[in-house]
A and B are shown apart, each in its own frame.
Chain A
């Protein structure tokens, strides 16, 4: 398989897996919690790395990250419910604490291996073609495609099968609870998938930019449509166009691929703010001029 196809394929899968969950995060006003989870999973990755003896996007690392993601959500909720700090302050307290533990562990124990801080923070999707999945001596192709392909499938299945329940508990958690749809359990399931997806996307885009892939396409899409299925589709589409345009841009500029994609995501959002048919800045100005 050629390197361009592998890198672009990984980027498309990362943006799909992220946009599907991100749409619900944005609608639930949980963007900051996603940011927190993406950082707080670091000690889980380190623990997984330690236990498995190598590789970030392996099963132990994914499980460790999912556990840390759930711990983050639980701690934030416990702090908020204690009434001693407000919701956003609770997030601000929990994730730097967990992230710093991860940073310490990386810098002390893994100084000389390829789990370095740069890789954790920024990722490097350009390495995707050089890391193949080996099973019983057979080369099955790039790990990144396998991991992100599996995560995309899981996220797509979750959002499709649980669509009605996710929509109801996002719009009105009270009614969801009253009808017996366990919005609390659904919330934790969503955050567990956010944690796992974050880790799966680490190799490609790192801890900081993965939030851009989760939140920006969803925020862009929700400016462009008032119907949830369309918002979901547009979020995925926005991720795809940014991946393709960003990849070409990165090659032209000889720059970071993930950085270029995230930049295009930002440009798309800006265009949506200006041109949205539902109250975009320029749309409103033009309508006002037309009606004057």
Chain B
């Protein structure tokens, strides 16, 4: 009767997912497969339902229809294998706690109910803070961190969860250059260890450089697949409409960071 999750099953498989607020569909018939060990971007215009997709997949907002499978099993079975980095603005950074304590929260899942974190958890959390370059600020109150540092604390917390499949909601939004570098290093490190990361991303200029796969979303899935074949001007126009008429994405395989920014690269 029970289907056992197998290592061969895709980390994430979404079928016909529909989410509605009151009567308006926010996501319609989303079907999506995320293969293991890849960095996957979800891009689309404002209001396309990118964050909602993450939340619906994780069961944080109700689904109107559709199925979501993690590693071939359901959410309850896969919970401990999932990590979630919400948008930085989703929490109150005046909360009376330290950076280290927030990272330790990522370990609560393995502790279960009632058991308190001990020395081992603090050491693990400190190691995660070190990986994002914030070990020095472990005992800093979180309101006294810069926006980029707060984002890295969230990332360290996700690392502490030691998940196999990560969901990150706009981790690159409004961060400074060192933080962007730190996040990117962590993403590549995760990929190197066979982990899978799904990132809601807003910066079209960096999609080719940062990610292996991309899903273009605008309430429905416009296109999904490898960046080289999917992140095309034609698909972008379909996702963004006329607003993106100016955009000429560089041809597949061209030098990416070196290429002039789209828009500045007018003929």
Assess the A178–B60 pair: CB atoms within 8 A. yes
Interface size range of chain A in the complex = 20 to 34
Q: Give which listed residue, A167, A175, A226, contacts B84 with CB less than 8 A.
A: A175
Assess the A226–B141 pair: CB atoms within 8 A. yes
Assess the B97–A227 pair: CB atoms within 8 A. yes
In the bound assembly, the distance between CA atoms of A178 and B113 in angstroms comes to: 14
A237 / chain B contacts, CB cutoff of 8 Å = none
A236 to chain B, nearest CB (A): 15
Assess the B95–A171 pair: CB atoms within 8 A. yes
- Please name the residue on chain A nearest to B93 by beta carbon: A171
A146 / chain B contacts, CB cutoff of 8 Å = none
In the bound assembly, the distance between CA atoms of A161 and B115 in angstroms comes to: 9
Assess the A167–B97 pair: CB atoms within 8 A. yes
A24-66 contact mask (Cβ, 8 Å, vs B): 1 or 0: 0001010000000000000000000000000000000000000
Assess the B105–A178 pair: CB atoms within 8 A. no
B212 to chain A, nearest CB (A): 24
B22 / chain A contacts, CB cutoff of 8 Å = 83
In the bound assembly, the distance between CA atoms of A231 and B101 in angstroms comes to: 15
A170 / chain B contacts, CB cutoff of 8 Å = 95
- Please name the residue on chain B nearest to A179 by beta carbon: B109
Tell me the chain B residues, 69-90 only, with Cβ under 8 Å from chain A: 76, 79, 82, 84, 86, 90
Given contacts A164-B111, A181-B113, contact A175 B96 (CB under 8 A): no
B250-263 contact mask (Cβ, 8 Å, vs A): 1 or 0: 00000000000000
Q: Is A10 an interface residue (CB 8 A)?
A: no
- Please name the residue on chain B nearest to A28 by beta carbon: B92
Q: Is B13 an interface residue (CB 8 A)?
A: no
Given contacts A162-B114, A174-B60, contact A27 B95 (CB under 8 A): yes
- Please name the residue on chain A nearest to B95 by beta carbon: A171
Q: Give which listed residue, B21, B91, B108, contacts A181 with CB less than 8 A.
A: B108
Assess the A171–B108 pair: CB atoms within 8 A. no
A29 / chain B contacts, CB cutoff of 8 Å = 92
Assess the B114–A171 pair: CB atoms within 8 A. no
**Interface residue ranges, B against A (CB under 8 Å):** 21-22, 55, 58-60, 76, 79, 82, 84, 86, 90-92, 95-98, 102, 105-106, 108-109, 111, 113-117, 141, 143, 157
Contact sample, A vs B, 17 pairs, CB 8 Å cutoff? A27-B96, A83-B21, A164-B108, A165-B114, A167-B105, A171-B92, A171-B97, A171-B105, A172-B91, A174-B55, A174-B60, A177-B58, A178-B60, A226-B143, A227-B98, A227-B141, A231-B96
**Interface residue ranges, A against B (CB under 8 Å):** 27, 29, 83, 161-165, 167-168, 170-172, 174-175, 177-181, 222, 225-228, 230-231
